[in-house]
Structure 1
Amino acid sequence: MQTHSKRRPKSFTGRHMAAVMVVGFGIVIAVNFTMAALASSSFGGVVVENSYVASQNFNGWLDRAEKSEALGYSVEASRGADGRVVLATANVPAGSQVIAVARHPLGHQPETELAFVQSGHDAWTSTAALPEGRWTLRILAKTGPDEWRGERALP
């Protein structure tokens, strides 16, 4: 003769529900704190100091960008073997003043201002070397009253 013992299924109690809620919200809170810590450690600065003032200047920035684009300058940036930045240009007149501000994309290194000297036809070389790493160059080429501004990545 076989005896079957009938087991009664355990019931889902309030303690079980409390444990599910605590564990669930604990996971959500842990993920939020982790993401917030990662985000704040990787962002190195402020995009604009005052968004209201930036919004008031926006149309002026667009006008300057259109004038700059109309000059027809073309600039490509690369790094020389000695660490100095080399700009290959097109339509930039000889005798122009060319400068750039090198910014580290995540703000881990301080901004560095670079001055350039003409090193050949349509070529400019920085007077100082730039440390290794990724940089973003904000370039200004000024010829008399005309100003061309551009931004180029330097891998």
Structure 2
Amino acid sequence: MSANTEKPFVFTGWHMLATICSFFGVIIAVNFTMAYYATHSWSGIVVENTYVASQQFNDTTARIRAILDSGVEGRMSVNKGLIVYDLDIPGKGPVIADKVTANFKRPVGTAQDFSIELQAEGPGHFVARHEMGSGHWIYEIIALRDGQMVMHEANRMAVLEEK
């Protein structure tokens, strides 16, 4: 008669060492992966100088509140490289501006960012031509009349080019 004796599993110090190394190895690998993507996908720059921006915050907010209270509305469209921006007050008509500048930025990365001045093609109707890639963009419009801001808005849009 032979007795088949199996040794029961015994959790040793080596098992604990392997468990701890595996646990922290996963954490370190995830952190390095996230750090790589963070440093290679976004510049991190929102404003050049955060202290100056914080000092100008109340003035900027007051100017934008005055624009919103005036009822001025803007509409942006992009189609096959043609950028069109219409500026008006509903029920009152178009808003005249001397200079309209559009800043286009990708939500991630700065390689395709550009600024362009739109030309007036009629009262409150401004156009420019610039090839843009498909995808999401953040645009900022600054419209001036006699040196005074009549519109300042920033919105996100999707450019869907048909192939």
Equivalent position SS for 1:70? helix
Considering only aligned residues, what root-mean-square deviation do their CA atoms show, in Å? 2.2
Name the residue aligned to 2:132: 131
For residue 93 of structure 1, report the CA deviation from its aligned partner.
Answer: 2.2
Kept in 1: contact 2:140–2:154 (CA 8 A): yes
Kept in 2: contact 1:90–1:122 (CA 8 A): yes
Q: Does 1:152 align with 2:150?
A: no
For residues 66-102 of structure 1, give each alpha carbon's deviation from its aligned partner in whole angstroms, at most 9, with x where no partner exists. 1222232111211133x12011332242354222122
Aligned partner letter, 1:98: V
Aligned partner letter, 1:131: M
Name the residue aligned to 1:21: 20
For residue 20 of structure 1, report the CA deviation from its aligned partner.
Answer: 0.8
Name the residue aligned to 2:161: none
Aligned partner letter, 2:126: W
Q: Does 1:141 align with 2:140?
A: no
Matches within 5 A, 1:3-152: 3-81=2-80, 83-91=81-89, 92-120=94-122, 122-126=124-128, 128-133=129-134, 134-147=136-149, 148-152=151-155
Kept in 2: contact 1:98–1:140 (CA 8 A): yes
For residue 4 of structure 1, report the CA deviation from its aligned partner.
Answer: 4.4
Kept in 2: contact 1:100–1:114 (CA 8 A): yes
Equivalent position SS for 2:126? strand
Number of paired residues? 152
Gaps of 5+ in 2: 159-163
For residues 115-153 of structure 1, give each alpha carbon's deviation from its aligned partner in whole angstroms, at most 9, with x where no partner exists. 222334542211x31322333221111122531201133
Inter-partner Cα distance in structure 2 for 1:130 and 1:45: 25
For residue 22 of structure 1, report the CA deviation from its aligned partner.
Answer: 0.7
Aligned partner letter, 1:21: I
Rate the CA distance shift 1:86–1:60 in 2: closer, same or farther, 3 A.
same
Rate the CA distance shift 1:106–1:125 in 2: closer, same or farther, 3 A.
same
Kept in 2: contact 1:97–1:142 (CA 8 A): yes
Gaps of 5+ in 1: none
Rate the CA distance shift 1:119–1:47 in 2: closer, same or farther, 3 A.
same
Moved more, 132-141 or 116-125: 116-125
